[in-house]
Amino acid sequence: MKVSKAVIVAAGLGTRMLPASKAIPKEILPVVDKPAIQMVVEEAVAAGIKEIIVVISPGRTTVLDHFRPSPELERHLSERGKEDTLELVKKICAMAEFTAAEQAQPLGLGHAVLQARGDVGNEPFAVMLPDDIFDCQRPCLGQLIAVAERRDAPVVSLLKVAASEVPKYGIVSGDRIDERLFRLTGMVEKPEPEKAPSDLAIVGRYILPPEIFAILAEGKPGAGGEIQLTDALIELARRRPFYGYEFEGTRYDLGDPLGFLTAQVGFGLKRADLADRFRAYLKTVV
């Protein structure tokens, strides 16, 4: 299963991050000084993907504008001799090839993915949710692609979650076949803890075959009256082998205020130019 395209779903309303996300898409909110959407694109590129479809809401083009040339800014930096910053800005624009797909109404994650059908075509593809940011030695998406290629099958990223967190996620059932690899047998969208089949949640990264589009197109609204991607994954797992991989690394939920704050700390402490001063400051307030 060779993967060359990624679909980044940036069409949500960002209600968990209001009022910050009222006028600015939450995908543009920064981790330290880098927008979340850029971090997701960098992960995709590091995993070998150069074609990216971004699903957006009507009129919310800021996430794509970030990757477009800015002649006035570039001229300003050049005139002031800020060559390092100019090179950084130009590099952002050359990271990948971008296409926009629009989700006219917020009808669920499955519906958002379906809007990319024409741009993906008849080939396997990745789905990336920019709420989920990963800090991994090997890109999280790269870990999944390796499994997908080795098994010639779809795969999703898994994370063990506390019982109190279970109702926030799609939870899987399955058989462990390797240290971090599971052959999935079922999934439940946002179950109550006592009804959950496991403590393994699907988080933010998927490698899917093109037949998922037909399943989504035929699907009926599920939880919350939306077209749920999880429902389509359940049907896909009935038709062919489907895997979950417990990724190696750390995940931050940028769609949640606490997750947003912990990401600033986690990535701030990894910055050589900031770490010492930031650590010293944290010691004064903790």
pLDDT tens by residue, 206-261? 999 999 999 999 977 766 678 889 999 999 999 999 999 999 999 999 989 999 99
Q: What mean pLDDT do residues 186-206 have?
A: 93
Average pLDDT across the chain, whole number? 94
User: Which superfamily does 5-285 belong to?
Assistant: Spore Coat Polysaccharide Biosynthesis Protein SpsA; Chain A (3.90.550.10)
- Helix, strand, or coil (residue 172): strand
pTM summary value:
0.93
pLDDT in tens, 101-137: 999 988 899 999 999 999 999 999 999 999 999 999 9
Integer Cα distance of 148 and 245 in angstroms = 10
**Alpha carbon separation from 236 to 114, 217, 232, 265 (Å, rounded):** 15, 13, 6, 38
Q: What mean pLDDT do residues 148-159 have?
A: 97
Per-residue pLDDT, 223: 64
**Statement: residue 100 has pLDDT above 70:** yes
Per-residue pLDDT, 224: 67
- Helix, strand, or coil (residue 284): helix
160 forms bridges with which residues in the sheet? 200
**Alpha carbon separation from 88 to 75, 122, 173 (Å, rounded):** 14, 35, 44
Alpha helix positions (H), 175-226 = 212-218
Integer Cα distance of 106 and 227 in angstroms = 10
Domain ranges of the chain: 5-285
Alpha helix positions (H), the chain = 36-46, 62-65, 71-79, 83-93, 109-114, 117-120, 140-151, 212-218, 229-239, 257-268, 275-285
**Statement: residue 176 has pLDDT above 90:** yes
**Statement: residue 149 has pLDDT above 70:** yes
Per-residue pLDDT, 264: 97
